[in-house]
């Protein structure tokens, strides 16, 4: 469920990995037609003024908004980073 929400949201919002893991519950504005997410800091936002990204509701089979809501509800997230389990994997070459 987490991966589904992570991938759909990342794709539809064209978010960088660092932007995805920085999203908190407080950054999401739930609306009837979808969600609006505040990205407080971005590589392209040199002055760190923050940017909003709108994600519309999808269809029944593919909806990033629904996937995100299900993940938040299942993980009982209410006051922290949404993708707090996102782990950076580093590989080494031998």
Q: What is the per-residue pLDDT for 38?
A: 94
- More confidently predicted of 87 and 34: 34
Q: Is residue 89 in some structural domain?
A: no
Order the strands of the 34-39 sheet from edge to edge: 28-31, 34-39, 51-56
Q: Is residue 9 in some structural domain?
A: yes
**Residues in Cβ contact with 47 at an 8 Å cutoff, skipping those fewer than 6 apart:** none
Cα 75 to Cα 78: distance, rounded to the nearest angstrom? 9
Q: Is residue 92 in some structural domain?
A: no
Q: Is residue 84 in some structural domain?
A: no
Q: Is residue 94 in some structural domain?
A: no
Report the number of distinct structural domains present in the chain: 1
Whole-prediction pTM value? 0.80
Q: Is residue 90 in some structural domain?
A: no
Q: What is the per-residue pLDDT for 90?
A: 52
Q: Which domain holds residue 62?
A: 2-75
């Amino acid at each position: 469920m987490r991966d589904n929400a992570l991938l759909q949201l990342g794709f539809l919002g064209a978010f960088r990995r660092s932007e995805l893991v920085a999203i908190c519950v407080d950054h999401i504005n739930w609306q009837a037609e979808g969600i609006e997410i505040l990205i407080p800091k971005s590589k392209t936002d040199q002055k760190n003024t923050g940017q909003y990204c709108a994600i519309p509701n999808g269809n029944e089979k593919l909806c990033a908004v629904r996937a995100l809501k299900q993940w938040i509800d299942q993980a009982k997230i209410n006051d922290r980073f949404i993708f707090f389990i996102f782990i950076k994997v580093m590989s080494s070459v031998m």
